[in-house]
Amino acid sequence: MTAIIPLLVNRVSLSLLPYFSFERTQLSSSQYFLNNDLCSSLPEILSPEAPTKHSCRQAYILASILTGIVQLITLLFSPLVGLISASPILSRNSRNPQAVVLSISFLLGTLACIGFALLPNGDPRLKIVWAFAIGLGVAQAAGTVVSLALITKGRGDIVAKEGREVGGALSSAYSFCGGLGILLIGSTAGVLFDRWSTAPFLLLAGVNLVVVFFSTLLWIRSPHD
């Protein structure tokens, strides 16, 4: 374990973690509506994971609005995350200010995922879900912007030492981690959903905590690098 942690606590490795965990968030509220007979229409074939406007219109509308809020917050906060990451104040206190932003943002994402998992009776109509959606959007923005900043910085350092061939390999690894994360996290969340509808949120919370842990380590040890 002591040999693995130093390997992960650097710009390049840390850039792969949020990109691995990053996935376009699509929230579903159909399970609650189905369990409580709140759907106005129930055709013979109905997928709780992917409600349609014909199978359960109420759940479809709510899920679409929540998902739209997450994506809107991601769009609005992406420039802000970039500005904060390049802030002179953070740069004076840490050689890796991106790690500070990543740690705080993914902590918000973790709390949001836990909040969704622990909703009273699983009711997605509660007003608090809007705050959770905002938290997911902030984490998603940081996962995109900061991971790109970290891989760019790390790639520049490595290319200067090892050559352009290694830089190309890093770019490929970065893209591979993103696809692998969507495949593994998405498929695992789908399997868990069949057994426990809130399990996917707990899975995402756990993955986000891993990012928080290693980004915090980089943040703490960076002044002494």
Do residues 192 and 203 lie in contact, with contact meaning Cβ atoms separated by under 8 Å? yes
Query: Which tens digits make up the pLDDT trace of 187-215?
Result: 787 777 767 777 888 888 898 898 899 88
Other CB atoms within 10 A of residue 36 CB: 11
Percent of the chain whose pLDDT exceeds 70? 72
Can you tell me which residue has the tokens 């409600």?
51
pTM (2 decimals)?
0.78
Query: Which tens digits make up the pLDDT trace of 132-146?
Result: 999 999 998 988 888
Is 12-35+51-224 in CATH node 1.20.1250.20? yes
The rounded Cα 19 to chain-centroid distance in angstroms is: 8
CA dist 189 and 197 (Å) reads: 9
CA dist 132 and 126 (Å) reads: 11
Confidence (pLDDT) at 46? 45
Mean pLDDT along residues 39-67: 65
Mean pLDDT along residues 31-42: 66
Do residues 100 and 192 lie in contact, with contact meaning Cβ atoms separated by under 8 Å? no
Collapsing DSSP to helix, strand or coil, 183 comes out as helix
Type of residue found at 21: S
CA dist 139 and 78 (Å) reads: 10
Gyration radius (Cα) of the chain, Å: 19
Do residues 208 and 109 lie in contact, with contact meaning Cβ atoms separated by under 8 Å? yes
- On the question of pLDDT at 124 being above 80, the answer is yes
Residues for the chain: how many in total? Answer: 225
The rounded Cα 23 to chain-centroid distance in angstroms is: 6
Query: Which tens digits make up the pLDDT trace of 62-95?
Result: 888 888 999 999 999 999 988 888 877 777 767 7
